[in-house]
Structure 1
């Protein structure tokens, strides 16, 4: 079996974003992602890029054609991994907006005012400072940070308000704040803050504190441990020229797309009933498997909105390749398929994030143990369990760990031939 490094083919791993996703990406994302040969770094870059770009195209909306509902495409991305494991590639995701941030500053400046909009918002802003910046930007902003502690340490005394702003951003709700020192009441409609942030498991636990935090179910997650047993300090990029030159080129393309988008007050990517049903059908299977984890039901329900946001962004980026766009676009089937794959990958990682956090009513089984047990027949063998595990993105070694738990908890009988039987 091959190992995960920059010079060899990676093993099939349910943790990774599927290869099919990369094959079907719009060119700007496909070409920029292909620079990274380490699989985890490639995935982190892509998710960071989606997060950053989702905050750039603030006139872009996903439209549920059945319920006649719109939602902006801004995403909340959380990357969780040990130190020195590859999270730092988020800085390249940030480079995609190097030109857009300047265009935004000019386009958002109010005539006669010295103030210009700041698309990139520092993570160490206070809650009141964040609201002030968002108000100047008409609710738009991007926060990208490689250390969660920067966000947490700046808001230890005011985390409730800060978390409320992030939660309300997800579906563009209204947020309000009273500033005691200035005796000022601030209210902001149609919030569109995007977030791409990384940190260690310990930092994440400090940030989120509990699965009961409503922010938890609104996030897109990616957890990994790329520390490994071997050292690979170079050769992890597939670049024919200076990496900064590459990303300067991508930033120019992104800025061209941004200017196209500015020519429309509102761009709607529409989803028909068949497409909406396809997303719901894929989510329903997961919903049934996590029945004993009530807190995770919110993650699955909000994954529907996440899929709409991602599919809309991918559809829009693909449309921009032609050099012209309209204000009404039908979601492409390829973009929908790609978004569903990303949505399901996010769910698998959200289960890992869930295991990191405390809960008052957490079941004795882990999430993957329950997911596997719920789909196994009453009688099964190990090999059958492994095959079934593959269909729900559970790796072979995790299946073995689950089977061990089932035996220890006296949930199954095992014959001498290695045949398992569920106990009623």
Structure 2
């Protein structure tokens, strides 16, 4: 099978390494890049290896060469691609033209070096004069996943070319690329709570489509687009409220009849009706949250446009249900007991989705450190800062407002959803070839993230795999709403849905992007944790802080090593330099040579 051609999304006009260079001219840098690319391509040709066996890597290679060499990269693209067994020159030429005409979000020439290094080609001989062009280096290996906020990628264009029709209608109401991304992932998360009658088996456990999302942005930078997604499920929520009111009225009438007939005897006291709702307020007590979940068969969407509403609730004694959210992500039994009023709540199969928006500081309040279990359960999408003012008078017609359009979409989804639920229960599965690709991809990404960041990233990658599987479920169901698939009913009456390759590719592309954002959040939270540790150390006195620095240093170390230790502790560089001199005077250290030290035990 030949490699397919998809479009990738627009990229920034000028590569970040070019923007940041202090060089008076970029021509020498481009000449150096082409020289290094030529040397590496020659080695690829000598070894006759395919450095892009996966489609995604092949597309990324095209954008990397466009970034570094422009039209000059076309022939290199052919020279590298021809080692793919089904290489076709015309198809490869067409793909490179697409790369030139589009712009690739977050893909720079660094990706070429990364792919070559990943295929076993050493980067040591190359680009010694202009190291900024190389990928980040962590633990001796290339750093593909570590991005600055400005480099964080958006969803690639191929995602929007292959969406189910209903989601296409939803994202077509966006007014910018960030707006489109936010609406897409927000819609997927909000809709995920509605498909409680479909499940699949992942890692030998039954799972449902529910997802957790946090859209992160500075004030008034577009995270408000998430609130529009709530309109997609508002009619379902409203119908449940109406049912609750009806049941409440029936309960009151039955209670009045019971009170009147109590003297006569023989009447049974009516049972209080359940409180039916889909969207649960974040500002709820723990017992109220569980009670509502129980009344709704464990189904609920926690939606809040200000993330600190939830974080403040979780910090209170009455509202600390952080553990409930962690367990609910995996559909584990959640329970609560209170001595007062002998209160006990239990939900055996929670299917909870969460959609939050907030500032970076609100993320830290909700998830104070990288080791907090909530971090790896959330999808994070960061809206980057962009200077400028939108045309706020683009329409004066209320019927054409985003609110009105999303209400119409909500009514449409409610109708489609009713039919979907009426059909019965569904099972979801991946074809065996996609399963193999999924495991291969996840294994490779896990190795990369553990090497480039740290081993604790494995938990994030593993859960991102589960998140990808759940997104596939949502896409498959939404496509089924439009009768896009032929379905099979098993002997037990369960309707089998099998993921189509296009939905698999879209889900994997979305999660690939989300993983970049998750790494960014993880590293920020880790730095925050280091600062908190340093603050605690400072409170224990100068001697304790000095000893902590000394114990962190290896037996033999360089100034680079001790600078890294100082940074991790959050200490002042000049103060720490005085401590090093003090260690030498006291006989705890000796200077082997300039900038190199050895401990004396």
TM bucket, shorter chain: 0.7 to 0.9
- From 216, 226, 236, the counterpart of 1:90: 226
1:419 matched residue in structure 2: none
The offset of 1:249, in angstroms, is 2.2
| Contact 1:152/1:159 (8 A) holds in 2 | no
2:425 matched residue in structure 1: 266
- From 442, 458, 462, the counterpart of 1:301: 462
Whole-angstrom CA distance in 1 between matches of 2:304 and 2:507? 24
The offset of 1:155, in angstroms, is 2.8
| Contact 1:59/1:261 (8 A) holds in 2 | no
2:286 matched residue in structure 1: 127
Whole-angstrom CA distance in 2 between matches of 1:212 and 1:47? 25
Q: Deviations over 1:346-390 (max 9, x none)?
A: 11110111122136997xxxxxxxxxxxxxxxxxxxxxxxxxxxx
| Contact 2:228/2:406 (8 A) holds in 1 | yes
SS of equivalent residue, structure 2 residue 353: strand
The offset of 1:233, in angstroms, is 4.2
The offset of 1:245, in angstroms, is 3.0
SS of equivalent residue, structure 1 residue 141: strand
- From 379, 389, 395, the counterpart of 1:231: 389
Q: Deviations over 1:39-70 (max 9, x none)?
A: 11111111111110001111122334xx6542
Comparing 283-292 with 45-54, which one deviates more in the overlay?
A: 283-292
| Contact 1:209/1:358 (8 A) holds in 2 | no
2:474 matched residue in structure 1: 313
Q: Deviations over 1:66-101 (max 9, x none)?
A: x65420100001111111100001111001012121
Q: Deviations over 1:208-235 (max 9, x none)?
A: 0111111111111111223x23222437
Does residue 523 of structure 2 align to residue 355 of structure 1?
Answer: yes
Root mean square deviation of aligned Cα? 3.0
User: TM-score with structure 2 length normalisation?
Assistant: 0.55
Once the two structures are superposed, the pairs formed by residues 337-352 of structure 1 within 5 Å of their partners are 337-352=505-520
Higher helix share: 2
Whole-angstrom CA distance in 2 between matches of 1:262 and 1:21? 27
Q: Deviations over 1:373-421 (max 9, x none)?
A: xxxxxxxxxxxxxxxxxxxxxxxxxxxxxxxx99x98xxxxxxxxxxxx
Does residue 159 of structure 2 align to residue 21 of structure 1?
Answer: yes
Does residue 216 of structure 2 align to residue 80 of structure 1?
Answer: yes
- From 417, 428, 442, the counterpart of 1:283: 442
| Contact 1:212/1:359 (8 A) holds in 2 | no
| Contact 1:62/1:308 (8 A) holds in 2 | no
Distance 1:236 1:308, change over 3 A: farther
- From 45, 54, 58, the counterpart of 2:196: 58
Whole-angstrom CA distance in 2 between matches of 1:135 and 1:159? 18
The offset of 1:180, in angstroms, is 3.1
- From 20, 27, 30, the counterpart of 2:168: 30
Q: Which runs of 5+ in 2 are unaligned?
A: 1-9, 14-100, 107-152, 252-271, 490-494, 531-559, 565-601
Structure number, greater radius of gyration: 2
Structure scoring higher RCO (CA < 8 A, sep ≥ 6) equals 1
Comparing 76-85 with 113-122, which one deviates more in the overlay?
A: 113-122
Whole-angstrom CA distance in 2 between matches of 1:356 and 1:186? 36
Whole-angstrom CA distance in 2 between matches of 1:139 and 1:168? 12
Does residue 380 of structure 2 align to residue 221 of structure 1?
Answer: yes
The offset of 1:128, in angstroms, is 1.6
Does residue 72 of structure 2 align to residue 12 of structure 1?
Answer: no
